[in-house]
Structure 1
Amino acid sequence: MALTIAQAAERSGLTKDTLRYYERDGLMLAAVDRTATGHRRYTERDLTWIELITRLRATGMPIRDVRRYAELVRHGDGNEQERLDLLRSHRQQVLAQLAEVQEHLGAIDRKIGIYVDKLESQGIAVSA
């Protein structure tokens, strides 16, 4: 079942402009099919790929790396090591970001603990 760009935007949570950009900037695996009148028709395969692009971007992968990954996938078998290296490198960056966010969360939790202790020592009930 093919979806219009509006339906694909709704399903993916992206804007129609973002979907057009992904296609225009070489981030899609293949050109999105078109009707006889030129309207885009997205397949489930397109949406699965868009979901991956969205996840890579949401975790901070630069567009150039997403584009490179798409190029590698489009070229087919024989470059799996390069794909693996690209994804492993990105994974390391995500893990570093996650560790940093966990440190920030720890600082916030410590500050919350200070206020909870202070209020409870004053006999004030603290809600969760």
Structure 2
Amino acid sequence: MTISEVSERFGLSQDTLRYYERIGLIPPVGRNASGIRDYGEEDLKWIDFVKCMRQKAGLPVEMLIEYLALFQQGDGTLDARKALLVEQRARLADKIDDMTSTLRRLDDKIARYEQTIGGKEQALRAP
């Protein structure tokens, strides 16, 4: 796939894709005979993984770069890679707990407003 096709597929700019490759967030992308990036299935899997971890889970770029570097070193780094993922999972779970607590507070506030508004409407209807 060309960079423009990948850009459209993942909703990432071409500059972002180049940047991800340059800083080591995704492995180097192969080139065709003309020197143009030619994204293969493995490249697409990495982009999907990085997009999910960055945009949806909010994992730090530095951690993902470290993970890729370990991955490229081979199976001798399995334990280290797992440890990185377990640590990030714990951080994400804490974040979810915090967000759930915030959501409950917002729900409570909204319920109070609804009670107040409902009471005022009742008062207006009273003869």
Fold shared by both chains (TM-score > 0.5): yes
Q: Which runs of 4+ in 1 moved over 6 A?
A: none
For 2:93, the aligned partner's letter is L
**Larger relative contact order, structure 1 or 2 (CA cutoff 8 Å, min sep 6):** 1
CA distance in 2 between counterparts of 1:53 and 1:93 reads: 17
What residue number does 1:107 align with? Answer: 105
What residue number does 1:117 align with? Answer: 115
Please tell me whether Structure 1 or Structure 2 has the larger radius of gyration of its CA atoms.
2
Q: Secondary structure at the match of 1:41?
A: coil
In the TM superposition, what are the counterparts of 1:43-82 in structure 2 within 5 Å? 43-58=40-55, 59-82=57-80
CA distance in 1 between counterparts of 2:34 and 2:119 reads: 72
How many angstroms does 1:77 deviate by?
1.0
CA distance in 1 between counterparts of 2:32 and 2:101 reads: 51
Verify the 8 A CA contact 1:12 1:47 in the aligned structure 2: no
How many angstroms does 1:73 deviate by?
1.0
In the TM superposition, what are the counterparts of 1:75-90 in structure 2 within 5 Å? 75-90=73-88
Percentage of pairs with the same residue: 36
RMSD over aligned Cα, in angstroms?
1.3
For 2:10, the aligned partner's letter is S
Q: Which has the higher helix share?
A: 2
Verify the 8 A CA contact 1:27 1:67 in the aligned structure 2: yes
How many angstroms does 1:121 deviate by?
2.7
For 1:22, the aligned partner's letter is Y
